[in-house]
Structure 1
């Protein structure tokens, strides 16, 4: 029987970051994954941005999360001998003069200003509609998620620690201090499978499915910043191809791209870009979100050797490094899980069957 410290089910951003954290702590892992063309980690633009939302505000725990982000991925590039982390300024145009005025009133917030490179009160970029100016954000950029996940897969394969297969719940044996799955024994098994984590053990958690659609586009300009005004425009690994998105739907979870999604994004792009653009491809994916918009980390209420890491939502690139570190520390007895993300906050929803 093969023995490892931890089994990880799922190798999206959550599972990949956790696996690398544990390897760096000298632990042995077995990662199993069944990649799908529509998985959210592969379809997403990989955008990270500390200033978000309609109110243009600093994102939750921005200072510590983005400090961890900018430490983790450059080190991962060096370890995995691959390039996938691309810091890049982001330009967020003001949509109205009121929005511009509201932002100027916030400039006394030094914590928020830390993430702002410049503020413009008139047009700053000639190829987009931005007559009211906007803010240019630093500590933003994008992760080539496909390149990151592929690089980690290669590392795991070299360690004989990766299997591409569908996880079967009926083949999991749970013992007092260990688990066993298809001849592999581990201290704990961690489920990092996004919306697929609604297994019999974790189906009581309020994890919601949020569908998103994106477009791959080309246009004549070659911007040196990311545009974000109702729709983001982010470079991709393909020359002169940009990812635009995304839609958000809790109701339409159909496993396909939709004409409505395509039209919504095309309309928003037309409102942003002055130059004509060509739609090259449309994609879709399902993100795992939670009712309080916080990740879920920690052990099952009855089976402490079953653990979940889920609910990264639309901010997986920025949240995965920080919370994978927290979970890896907990798994190795070196730290605690913050109560804001601890599975225990949903314990009242659990009932023994």
Structure 2
């Protein structure tokens, strides 16, 4: 029986970055990943943004997360000889005079100078911009499929990756170890994204999954390098291709694209994009969001060597590196997890 320190189930954003950090800490890791399942990571827009929402809310832990996330991403790019981190920043044109006044009031009230500056009208000719808008720095997007493929190749080179549909019935849990088929490990960590809803050990956690759809389009003569966001957003992908998004659907959790979402996104894009475009693809995924919008980290209430790292939701690309390190410290150094992320906050929901 092969011996490991950790078995990681799932090679999405959470599983990949936790496995990577464990391997860099000289731990013997086995990653089991079901390659037959569709995943939200494979179609994620990958936007990161320190200031979000209609009230210009600073992203939770932004001042800590974003410097760590940038340094980690650039280091990983260098090690894997890939390019997936794109700090293109973000422009929000005012939708109307009411929103302009609201945003200006918020920028006066809150200390946002580190991230936001005002943009004059008509700064961009390709979009409707009669009132100007807000420019947010430290924003951008991660090409998640490129990052995950680079990490998969890293894992294959280390002989730590195996395509495998996990069979929960085959997991044997003892006091000091777990066994799965021909493998044995001190600990197992489930990083299954949306599919945690089918995991008998963690399906009691209060996930609030949301389906999202995006469009891939071509636009001729569009030169804006920033992400533009006004109800829907445009991400420049390169080669005259762009991603439009996104929808949030809670009552139809499947992986099928719909005409309704295509129309919903297009109608919002049409309000501010002046140039014609052609839609060439449409994608759907299910985000592993949580009811309190905080991640799920920690160990099972009844099995001390069974863990979860999940619930990163819409901010997964910026949350994952930092919280993978927090999970590493928790697993290896017995460092306490912050209460906002520790699943102990939901232990009362668990019953044998």
CA deviation vs aligned residue, 1:94-146 (integer Å, no higher than 9, x gap): 11222222222233467422112x30242321111122211111111111111
Q: Which runs of 5+ in 2 are unaligned?
A: none
In the alignment, the residues of structure 2 paired with residue 149 and residue 70 of structure 1 have an alpha-carbon distance, to the nearest angstrom, of 17
Task: Report the equivalent of 2:339.
Answer: 339
In the alignment, the residues of structure 2 paired with residue 8 and residue 209 of structure 1 have an alpha-carbon distance, to the nearest angstrom, of 22
Task: Report the equivalent of 2:140.
Answer: 141
Q: CA RMSD in A?
A: 1.4
Task: Report the equivalent of 2:18.
Answer: 18
For the residue of structure 2 that corresponds to 1:105, the secondary structure is helix
Give the drift of 1:319: 0.8
Indicate if the aligned counterparts of 1:96 and 1:132 stay in contact, CA closer than 8 A: yes
Indicate if the aligned counterparts of 2:77 and 2:84 stay in contact, CA closer than 8 A: yes
CA deviation vs aligned residue, 1:66-93 (integer Å, no higher than 9, x gap): 1211111111111222221111121111
Task: Report the equivalent of 1:196.
Answer: 195
Task: Report the equivalent of 1:131.
Answer: 130
Task: Report the equivalent of 2:231.
Answer: 230
Q: Greater CA deviation, 36-45 or 104-113?
A: 104-113
For the residue of structure 1 that corresponds to 2:208, the secondary structure is strand
Indicate if the aligned counterparts of 1:327 and 1:337 stay in contact, CA closer than 8 A: yes
Q: Report how many aligned residue pairs link the two structures.
A: 350
Q: Greater CA deviation, 159-168 or 124-133?
A: 124-133
In the alignment, the residues of structure 2 paired with residue 14 and residue 147 of structure 1 have an alpha-carbon distance, to the nearest angstrom, of 15
Q: Greater CA deviation, 33-42 or 309-318?
A: 33-42
Indicate if the aligned counterparts of 1:38 and 1:283 stay in contact, CA closer than 8 A: no
In the alignment, the residues of structure 1 paired with residue 309 and residue 131 of structure 2 have an alpha-carbon distance, to the nearest angstrom, of 41
CA deviation vs aligned residue, 1:233-255 (integer Å, no higher than 9, x gap): 1122x511111111000012233
For the residue of structure 1 that corresponds to 2:107, the secondary structure is coil
Give the drift of 1:56: 2.2
Q: Which runs of 5+ in 1 are unaligned?
A: none
For the residue of structure 2 that corresponds to 1:63, the secondary structure is helix
Indicate if the aligned counterparts of 1:100 and 1:121 stay in contact, CA closer than 8 A: no
- Give runs of aligned pairs for residues 176-255 of structure 1, distance below 5 A: 176-198=175-197, 199-220=199-220, 221-236=222-237, 239-255=239-255
In the alignment, the residues of structure 2 paired with residue 92 and residue 111 of structure 1 have an alpha-carbon distance, to the nearest angstrom, of 18
Task: Report the equivalent of 1:84.
Answer: 84
TM-score, normalised relative to structure 1:
0.96
Task: Report the equivalent of 2:41.
Answer: 41
Task: Report the equivalent of 2:8.
Answer: 8
Task: Report the equivalent of 2:349.
Answer: 349
In the alignment, the residues of structure 2 paired with residue 275 and residue 121 of structure 1 have an alpha-carbon distance, to the nearest angstrom, of 21
